[in-house]
Amino acid sequence: MKKLVLFLFVGLLGFSLTAQDATAKIEFKSETVDYGVIAKGSDGIRVFEFTNTGNAPLIISDVRSSCGCTIPKKPENPIMPGETGEIQVKYDTNRVAPIRKAITVISNADTPTKVLKITGEVKETAEGTK
């Protein structure tokens, strides 16, 4: 009886260790998006591209910005191992000011919290802008 219990315990332990090896990993192409110098009212949409380099589905549960002037949009479906995805960010370009914002990504990846950044500057006119 003791051998049976020991065998079951070792089997369950081995199974749980194998299950823990499957993890999602998120790798961004770049963790900063630079808008450069842009004109007031121009297109404020940019994209952070990433790849799931792990061996389990990547689920992004939440994406938040540091202020209401930046609206991030997360992927709705899990990103399978080896696949790419994107997080879209829309900045309100009707504010003439430097851009220094943080986007916090929460997921089931081995690093569950990632902070992305957007930088740049919004000018009143298009002179000297990209």
CA distance 49 to 29: 6
> What is the rounded average pLDDT of the residues 85-91?
97
Residue 91: both structure tokens together: 């900045």
Using one digit for the tens of pLDDT, what is the confidence trace for 12-29? 555 554 545 789 999 999
Q: The whole model's pTM is what?
A: 0.79
Phi-psi category of 100—alpha, beta or left, where left has phi over 0 and alpha has psi -120 to 50? Answer: beta
Superfamily grouping for domain 24-123: Immunoglobulins (2.60.40.10)
Assess whether pLDDT exceeds 80 at residue 6.
no
Residue 42, pLDDT score: 94
Measure the CA–CA gap between 45 and 113, rounded to whole angstroms.
Answer: 23
Which amino acid makes up residue 49?
E
Number of other residues whose CB lies within 10 A of the CB of residue 55? 12
**How confident is the prediction for the chain on average, in pLDDT?**
87
CB burial class (10 A; 0-12, 13-18, 19+) of residue 57?
middle
Query: Are 40 and 67 in contact, with CB atoms under 8 Å apart?
Result: no
